[in-house]
Structure 1
């Protein structure tokens, strides 16, 4: 490993070509002597408003993700984050495990980090939380499979709210008011934590602010993925400004 950069850890991040949120949010979370290395998963900006369009986006992600991960394998990485939420949840736990094995074969020695593993790990690290309010980037069409994945994994989805993204790139077109309203919509009394999925939702900084006024963990997808990558590679630095999960070390 280099004597100059990435002495402690190098992290690969495979990001859809439509995604403008994951890279800047994860760059803001880098501890000292950790470097990020980006690959693009080339997809079209197709509609998420109908089943045919949604299925095409998922198929495009599946087709292009292995090549993106393969392009990172010679960088001496400790972990590769596959920043593609839909493919992690769409067909259930068994399909996710199969996909994880397939991507691991392309990643060489790097650990493959996916949302479907990182979020349950974060809930466990925060005390085994099991009752969540779920924020998704999608319309109702995409909300149901995500909720079902969590339920099948033993996590109770008390309330859910979709941000209404109509294309992969459009997912990032949210306002602070949109994020506030989403948190309020799912913050029921029984909810122990709020979970936001969708790596093109720029919610990492807002999630930390929301925690200060609801008094519960708010887990933003990109922040959780990066936390899981660091912890999986033995780095436990607390990261200020990214909420209870990161600040706990």
Structure 2
């Protein structure tokens, strides 16, 4: 007998234990009869202000994600979102594919949705975007691994703006003015789309507003992840107030 809730689709979402943005944003994007089921990727709230601390956070995420995914395997899910930034999974394409296989085994069969795949799929859906303005959640030292992810994918980063997150939990402490300034700073004439990474940055609703005044696609990390999960599982509902990606693709 079918579950009374989640008749159309059940999605697992593994989020870092410091993350307070991904779950509420993805809950706001749920179509009718789709349910979300949360697991925590247990990490410490270490400093992101120096290289050793930044590396430790990334390695802790990589280490703890399979266990979080494994905890969702009995929920009858069609997809599991690993709700972390691209740099959390990108250390060369082969390393990404190996980890994707590991998470698929840990999840017991559901599709595994990562930022690395979701964002590149979204840029393809938007017409094969190849020049972006990039908004990062980090201080300058964290911008390079994020930019490398896009460069390795054949996407040119025209401009970068870091939001200055000092710890994983602190990443969510942004204001609308911070997000506005970030969009303005990366929106160069040659930029085809603005991309925000960092799943603890609460930018999904603001991204849609920003599209209206710059006249270009603005992708938030959480919106791209959830869109990719829905579309990969055959849910094609347009979702209002979430921008051109949800409304037309």
**Which TM-score applies when normalising by structure 1?**
0.98
Match of 1:83 in 2: 83
Aligned residues: 248
Match of 2:17 in 1: 17
Query: Partners of 1:185 and 1:96 in 2: how far apart?
Result: 30
Query: Partners of 2:2 and 2:16 in 1: how far apart?
Result: 28
Match of 1:167 in 2: 167
**Which TM-score applies when normalising by structure 2?**
0.98
Asked whether the equivalents of residues 62 and 89 of structure 2 are also in contact (C-alpha less than 8 Å), the reply is: no
Query: Partners of 2:98 and 2:88 in 1: how far apart?
Result: 11
Match of 2:139 in 1: 139
1:243 and 2:239 correspond: no
Q: List aligned pairs for 1:160-199, cutoff 5 A.
A: 160-199=160-199
Query: Partners of 1:240 and 1:152 in 2: how far apart?
Result: 32
Query: Partners of 1:102 and 1:203 in 2: how far apart?
Result: 30
Query: Partners of 2:215 and 2:118 in 1: how far apart?
Result: 22
Match of 1:207 in 2: 207
Query: Partners of 1:20 and 1:243 in 2: how far apart?
Result: 22
TM-aligned CA deviation for residue 2 of structure 1? 2.5
Asked whether the equivalents of residues 133 and 187 of structure 1 are also in contact (C-alpha less than 8 Å), the reply is: yes
Query: Partners of 2:195 and 2:135 in 1: how far apart?
Result: 6
Cα deviation digits, residues 110-136 of structure 1 (max 9, x gap): 000000000010011111111100000
TM-aligned CA deviation for residue 138 of structure 1? 0.5
Query: Partners of 1:195 and 1:126 in 2: how far apart?
Result: 12
Query: Partners of 2:180 and 2:140 in 1: how far apart?
Result: 19
Q: List aligned pairs for 1:98-109, cutoff 5 A.
A: 98-109=98-109
TM-aligned CA deviation for residue 3 of structure 1? 4.1
Gap regions ≥5 residues in structure 1: none
TM-aligned CA deviation for residue 92 of structure 1? 2.7
Query: Partners of 2:192 and 2:175 in 1: how far apart?
Result: 25
Query: Partners of 1:179 and 1:161 in 2: how far apart?
Result: 10
TM-aligned CA deviation for residue 154 of structure 1? 0.5
Asked whether the equivalents of residues 93 and 149 of structure 1 are also in contact (C-alpha less than 8 Å), the reply is: no
SS in 2 for 1:212: helix
TM-aligned CA deviation for residue 101 of structure 1? 1.2
